[in-house]
Amino acid sequence: MAMTNDERRKFFRIEVIAPARFRMIEEETSKPLTDWMNGSTADVSLGGVKVTAPMPDDLVEELVDDYGLIEFSCQLPGTPKAIAGTGTIAYFLRGTTVSNATTATFGLSFVAIDNSSEDVIGDFIRKRIDSPA
């Protein structure tokens, strides 16, 4: 029997839309390969984040082809500091917006995140779970 998405998930996810920025970096040297790009989160967990962003076609192709390392930061609503880390792309979806611009939606699986960012995410998730809808 195949596992459902929920069964495959290792970490609890919370839906949240927050401004995010990211850039592709070289895996061995951590040197930036692109400028910072702006997008927004769709959800967050202790294991990663889902991001959607408008992107030029050539960068979408690079993202799809390389599935490389991504440096990421965002400020979750009501949190004292921004979270930051690096991760790899777990999955990728391409779409178009009303203006026919290309969008990229990808799941970023953290490979490095500092303890304070992990604490911010954990506190954010706990508060969302504990607060009444």
- pLDDT digits 0-9 by tens, 19-78: 999 998 988 888 998 899 999 999 999 999 999 988 777 777 666 666 678 999 999 999
Beta bridge partners, 88, equal 69, 109
- Kindly tell me if the per-residue pLDDT of 2 is higher than 70: no
Q: How far, CA to CA in Å, does 63 sit from each of 31, 38, 52, 90, 118? A: 16, 15, 13, 12, 25
- Kindly tell me if the per-residue pLDDT of 7 is higher than 60: no
Phi/psi of residue 59, nearest 5 degrees: -75, -35
**For the chain, domain boundaries:** 11-130
Give residue 6's pLDDT. 47
- Kindly tell me if the per-residue pLDDT of 8 is higher than 90: no
**Cβ pair 20, 73 in contact under 8 A:** yes
pTM: 0.81
- pLDDT digits 0-9 by tens, 101-116: 678 888 999 999 999 9
Beta bridge partners, 45, equal 48
CATH of the structural domain 11-130, one choice from 3.40.50.460, 1.20.120.80, 2.40.10.220, 3.40.50.2300:
2.40.10.220
Give residue 59's pLDDT. 72
- Kindly tell me if the per-residue pLDDT of 98 is higher than 70: no
